[in-house]
Chain A
Amino acid sequence: MTISKTEIEKLAKLAKLSFSEEELERFTAEFDEIIAFADTINQSIEGGTEQIRNVGARMVSFDDLRTDEVVPSLPNEKILSNVEGYNGFFSVERSKK
């Protein structure tokens, strides 16, 4: 299947990415090849695909969950030490005049 530039733009919006016109051309061409590659999972395998269709989700055990205990957490100052320009608030450029 081929994928259109409009579909790539829609995906980019979902992924919170943007592409220049030139990048978009290149990505669309590459993406066609990547999707064709992903489509190869639709080949049949020896033994048939019937078996695959019948597989249920992996069983999850709920017997071994940890107890919900409050444990010490990291201090706020440390957690926020990587925030650019943090002074008790998250500072961003003014976006509304």
Chain B
Amino acid sequence: MRTGISELAIRLRNREISAVELTKAYIDAIEKLNPTLNAYVHLTFDTALKAAEKADQMLKEDDAPLLCGIPMALKDNICTDGLTTTCCSKILKGFKPYHDATVWEKLKAHGAVLLGKTNMDEFAMGSTSETSCYGAPLNPRNTNYVTGGSSGGSAAAVCANLAVYSLGSDTGGSIRQPASFCGVVGLKPTYGAVSRYGLIAYGSSLDQIGPLTNSVKDAAIVFDAIKGGDKRDQTSVDYDYGSSLAECLDRDVKGMRIGVAEEFFNGINPEIKSKIEEAIKLFEINGAVIENIRLPALKLALPVYYIIACAEASSNLGRYDGIRYGYRTSFYTSIEDMIVKTRSEGFGDEVKRRIMLGTYVLSSGYYDAYYKKACLIREEINREFDAVFEKCDVLVAPTAPNTAFPLNYKGASPVEMYLSDICTVPVNIAGVPAISVPCGEDARGLPIGMQIIGRRFDEATVLQVAHFYEQIAGKVIGAYEGGAGI
């Protein structure tokens, strides 16, 4: 396994390598591989080197934080003061935020070194990262395939060792699904566990920021650094997790109750199903109690998700008018004409589709039939999850019904693409935490991800089960050769 954050932190402290040298190694690797992989869309090498120099100073102190001097990446929808942030949309062309997202403020205080902003589906709307206005990132494991989405660049950067870790955002699976497609670890925390201040909004009741890493331990370390309440995000919660989660990972699964719901396995590719079943067997052999449970309302999760997410998106994206920031059309006859043309030229097709669906379900005459009903079914899905978690400590499920799609795959309609989010969206609807960990490869050598879902604010158990699996399963996917070589 690649060098983890803890080992790098030791090497930095032992002066085996400096933060500047480490950063330069990553810059070289990015210069070499990014022209092909397109994982990064904005590079911040100058500020990275300055941050690395500062980190080297911080590392002279005994109490330097674990993440000090570690090179990393942020998804292009996380605001960075003065550094271009575009959500990979033409409408935010050239936008330089005037504030830092809380997560970036926290990581900066830890001495993090930002290498750049990563590629993503436009406004995080998509499952392949192909709706990016910069073109799709390529899957480092096989460049004929997509990275998944929407945090595709963040997953590719970690997979190809072009960053030690990255942050993504997950509204309906956008951290976990690309993590699964690229064979890395992706954690979607509990809704409210991490501040959304400075995250450019898509579906505000579903969005959550989380880490993509090479190991469960690294995910725990990054989550420890970014979690916590924030006055600037009224939906964030200052939950008392007790001690550092990264220090409490060692726990076996003896006596643990692991739930398996058949609803997560309907229509799943048989190769994926068999890998997840092997993992479940492994838990059982190691003393876990497997509970077969039902979540009947899950069959409504997809339409509920798309109705709620698009309704929120249509409202959130109302702010893009070409007046205060971003792209503005060149020819117009009135202010109204300017706004309409700016939006029509600035947004891509998938974003327009979702704004239109959101406008439809919120419009007079349809609000009760769609939006209100979706909110009520959301409550039912929440109740089902609550009932299941009275009997089970975690649930185990596939992360996605398929492995990575071929690039430019034209065989699926928009709705068929929406159906590929079936395993991940229920988690966002219920606001519970979930992690995706690699659990094997398909016949083409493409990674398969397993999802471990937990109770709200019980990231500790989710991480412990995932860490246990990682330790006992051994090598489940091939190593990626290349990148920074560290």
8 Å CB contact of B374 from A17, A41, A82, A92: A41
- Asked if B344 and A35 make an inter-chain contact with CB atoms under 8 angstroms apart, the answer reads no
CA of A93 to CA of B329 in the docked complex: distance in angstroms?
11
Which A-chain residue is minimally distant from B234 (CB atoms)?
A: A66
Q: Are A38 and B303 in contact (CB under 8 A)?
A: yes
Name the residue on B nearest A40 (C-beta): B303
B356 at the interface (CB under 8 A from A): yes
Chain B residues 164-184 with CB under 8 Å of chain A are: none
A52 & B356 in contact (Cβ 8 Å cutoff): no
CA distance A49 to B214 in the complex (A): 43
Q: Which of A74-93 contact B (CB under 8 A)?
A: 74, 78-84, 90, 92-93
Bound: A8/B377 CA distance, A: 27
Kindly list chain A residues whose C-beta atoms are within 8 Å of the C-beta of B274: none
Query: Cβ of B356: which chain A residues have Cβ within 8 Å of it?
Result: 8, 11-12, 15, 17, 27, 31
CB of B300 within 8 A of chain A? yes
A90–B355 Cα distance when bound, in Å, is 27
Contact A92 B338, beta carbon cutoff 8 Å: yes
A93-B379 Cα distance, complex, nearest whole Å? 49
Minimal beta-carbon separation of A33 from chain B (angstroms): 5
Given contacts A19-B344, A53-B376, A83-B323, contact A34 B297 (CB under 8 A): no
- Interface residues in A1-30 by Cβ distance below 8 A to B read 8, 11-12, 14-19, 27, 30
Q: How many A-B residue pairs have CB under 8 A?
A: 126
Q: Which residue of B lies closest to A3 (CB)?
A: B360
Instruction: Decide if B326 is an interface residue (CB 8 Å cutoff).
Output: yes
With contacts A12-B356, A81-B96 known, is A41 near B377, CB below 8 A? Answer: yes
Q: Is the CB of B340 within 8 A of A18?
A: yes
Contact A79 B314 (CB under 8 A): no
Contact indicator B355/A33 (Cβ below 8 Å): no
Residue of chain A at shortest CB distance from B418: A37
Asked if A46 CB lies within 8 Å of chain B CBs, one says yes
Q: Given the complex of chains A and B, what is the CA–CA distance between A53 and B373 in angstroms?
A: 9
Q: Is the CB of A14 within 8 A of B363?
A: yes
User: What is the interface of chain B mostly: helix, strand, loop, or mixed?
Assistant: helix
B307 at the interface (CB under 8 A from A): yes
- B415 touching A34 by the CB < 8 A rule? yes
Residue from the list B96, B357, B361 in contact with A82, Cβ < 8 A: B96
Q: Contact at A83–B332, with CB atoms within 8 Å?
A: no
Within 8 A of A (CB), among B360-380: 360-361, 363, 370, 373-374, 376-377, 379-380
A35 to B366, CA, bound (A): 11
Distance between Cα atoms of A16 and B347 in the complex (Å): 11
- When chains A and B are docked, how far (Å) is the Cα of A23 from the Cα of B99? 37
**Separation of A81 and B415 alpha carbons in the complex (Å):** 40
Interface size class of B (residues with CB under 8 A): 35 or more
A contact residues, range: 35 or more
**Is the CB–CB distance between A83 and B347 below 8 Å?**
no
| Cα distance, A42 to B300, chains bound together (Å) | 9
Bound together, the chains give a CA A15 to CA B314 distance in angstroms of 8
Which partner residue on chain A sits nearest B317 by CB separation?
A15
Is B443 positioned at the interface, with any CB of A under 8 Å from its CB? no
User: A33-58 vs B: 1/0 string, CB under 8 Å?
Assistant: 11111111111011100011101001
Least Cβ–Cβ distance between B361 and chain A, in angstroms: 7
How many angstroms from the CA of A81 to the CA of B99 in the assembled complex?
12
Decide if B14 is an interface residue (CB 8 Å cutoff). no
CB contacts (< 8 Å) of A92 on chain B: these are 323, 335, 338
A35's partner among B299, B318, B360, B413 (CB-CB below 8 A) is: B360
| Residue in B94, B96, B303, B314 with the greatest tally of chain A CB atoms within 10 Å | B303
**How distant is B79 from chain A, measured CB to nearest CB, in Å?**
12
Say if the beta carbon of B480 comes within 8 Å of chain A: no
* A74 and B380 contact, CB distance less than 8 A: no
**Residue of B whose beta carbon sits closest to that of A15:** B359
Query: Is there an interface contact between B307 and A38, defined as CB atoms closer than 8 Å?
Result: yes
Within the assembled complex, what's the spacing in Å between the Cα atoms of A40 and B305? 12
- Set of chain A residues within 8 Å of B347, measured between Cβ atoms: 17
Judge whether A30 and B413 touch: CB under 8 Å. Answer: yes
Cβ-defined contact, B296 with A34, below 8 A: no
Specify which chain B residues have a CB less than 8 angstroms from the CB of A30 in the assembled complex. Answer: 353, 413-414
Name B314's closest neighbour in chain A (CB-CB).
Answer: A15
Q: Are B380 and A55 in contact (CB under 8 A)?
A: yes
Interface 0/1 of B96-118, CB less than 8 Å to A: 10110000000000000000000
Q: 10 tightest CB-CB pairs across the interface, nearest first?
A: A82-B325, A46-B296, A15-B359, A41-B303, A78-B98, A55-B379, A95-B334, A37-B415, A18-B344, A40-B303
Q: A15-B359, A40-B303 are in contact. List 14 more A-B contacts (CB 8 A).
A: A15-B356, A17-B340, A17-B344, A18-B341, A30-B414, A34-B357, A35-B360, A38-B361, A47-B296, A74-B99, A82-B95, A82-B324, A82-B325, A95-B338
In the assembled complex, 25 residue pairs joining A and B whose CB atoms fall closer than 8 Å, in A order, are: A11-B356, A11-B359, A15-B359, A16-B340, A16-B343, A17-B344, A17-B347, A18-B341, A31-B353, A33-B415, A34-B414, A37-B306, A40-B302, A41-B300, A42-B373, A43-B299, A45-B296, A45-B297, A47-B296, A51-B380, A74-B98, A81-B98, A82-B95, A82-B96, A95-B337
